[in-house]
Amino acid sequence: MTPGSAQRRIIVVVDIAEFTRPDRTVAHQLALQSGLYDVLRSAFSDIGVDVDTWVIEDRGDGALILIPKDFPKSELVDVLPDRLVAELRRYNATKVDAAKIKLRVAVHEGEIRKNEHGWMGGQVALAFRMLDEPEAKLALQRSDGVVALIASDSFYSETILRRPGTSPEAYRRIDVQVKNFTGQAWLRLVGTGEGPGRFRWQDPSVDEVTIHTSGDDGTSVRDAVVHLLESAGYVIVDRQNPELGSWFQRMFVRPLDPDAAKVSAAEIACAVTNEVKSAMVGSVIQAGEVLVTSHPQSTREERLVDSAARLLEAIRDHEEVLVYLPPLLLVKIGPRVLSWEPTDEERAIITANPHLLHSPGELLALFASTTRQNGASGGT
């Protein structure tokens, strides 16, 4: 290779989150750096990268890794994140908090050059700018995830978006404004708390939303829930990759106006419950279509009614649906639809049995059993 000649490579840059945290001594930092390379070698080897011949440059609290341009990109963004999570969990399991690793990983592709000091070029600089974006740092810090995967806008549109297996819906767009670079990237948090119902955001203003459908595609229900939340003044701050088989997804939402959160929650509960009542004959959905209209000048109340109707329309073709919002539990089993604001006791049951968010029938049975037991206890 002629010195300074351009080569096209897949560019991966990694950084240990909060490397200079006050509780981390020099000994901790040395252990972190050594542990990082163990994690990287194992994870990249597992996806087929020859780690004996790979190009890797140390960057103190991180590394620059260059992959041949013909390496399967789908393996990189589909399999690598899970392998990194597995290796990090294995490594962190035996470490004190100050020695545990969380990683930010940026992925890009472009032409780079090498001089006597190492690899360089605008594309390498862009990858490091994405890695330093404060929003990505904050998102990882606030979650119990162990990897923040950041894809460049071009890598996302040309590779991830075209391959459903790489979970494009699990990413959210972020603005990158670091030093002299301004642009967009796509962020995905990987390795978050296992099991539905495990709350992983430290920000108390953030609520968890869970959606289950018995069909293998619940995107229409998810989109209707998002429409309802946005109509009530909530913003989606993160969403996890859906679990398939049956369909299950967790999202995290925050009210735009925290002072009005209780009012917004009550409005959601009222709108959906009233819409369920109006669309039912007894407890069976009417055979006719639920009419959904959109009025750009609608009042807040009208938007909520419209959103509730959209949600009922979306759940119609699913045998089972469970939607758990901050103020509301919506359950559909066959033709039967129930909607109510859970009691504190019911919320406690869900917290203790998060797996039942996958099983609406079992959840309702447990609610009923607990009520009977409490009634029996109260009568003695």
Is 278 part of any domain?
Answer: yes
* Most confident by average pLDDT, 149-153, 236-240, 327-331: 149-153
Q: Are residues 117 and 87 in the same domain?
A: yes
E strands present in 256-327? 280-281, 284-285, 320-325
Pairing of β 147-152 and β 103-115: parallel
Give the mean pLDDT of the chain: 80
Q: Are residues 239 and 118 in the same domain?
A: no
Q: Are residues 223 and 173 in the same domain?
A: no
Predicted confidence (pLDDT) per residue in 38-55, tens digit? 999 999 998 888 887 788
Q: Among 127, 158, 190, which residue terminates a domain? A: 190
- The whole-angstrom separation of Cα 141 and Cα 33 is 19
Q: Are residues 294 and 257 in the same domain?
A: yes
Pairing of β 247-255 and β 207-213: antiparallel
Predicted confidence (pLDDT) per residue in 67-102, tens digit? 888 888 877 888 888 889 989 988 998 888 899 999
Q: Are residues 245 and 354 in the same domain?
A: yes
Q: Are residues 75 and 136 in the same domain?
A: yes
pLDDT at position 179 over 50: yes
Is 2 part of any domain?
Answer: no
Rg (CA), the chain: 24
Lowest mean pLDDT among 191-195, 321-325, 367-371: 191-195
Is 165 part of any domain?
Answer: yes
Q: Are residues 90 and 15 in the same domain?
A: yes
E strands present in 180-257? 181-190, 207-213, 234-239, 247-255
Residue 304: domain span: 207-374
CATH code: domain of residue 166: 3.30.70.1230
Backbone angles phi, psi at 201, to 5 degrees: -100, 135
* Mean pLDDT across 323-334: 86
Q: Are residues 234 and 315 in the same domain?
A: yes
Is 195 part of any domain?
Answer: no
Is 83 part of any domain?
Answer: yes
Q: Among 159, 190, 221, which residue terminates a domain? A: 190
Q: Are residues 15 and 65 in the same domain?
A: yes
CA distances from 295 to 6, 130, 230, 300 (A): 54, 39, 15, 11
Triad 232, 234, 238: Cα angle to 5°: 145
Q: Which two tokens stand for residue 53?
A: 């011949």
Is 198 part of any domain?
Answer: no
DSSP line for 137-155 = HHHHHHSS-SEEEEEEHHH
pLDDT at position 144 over 80: no
Q: Are residues 233 and 142 in the same domain?
A: no
Is 345 part of any domain?
Answer: yes
Q: Based on the structure, what is the number of domains in the chain?
A: 2
Q: Are residues 13 and 149 in the same domain?
A: yes
Q: Across the chain, how many H-helices and E-strands are there? A: 11, 16
pLDDT of residue 143: 78
What's the length of the chain? 380
Is 196 part of any domain?
Answer: no
* Mean pLDDT across 305-333: 87
Q: Are residues 167 and 220 in the same domain?
A: no
Q: Among 127, 155, 190, which residue terminates a domain? A: 190
* Mean pLDDT across 340-352: 85
User: Is the separation of the CB atoms in 252 and 207 below 8 Å?
Assistant: yes
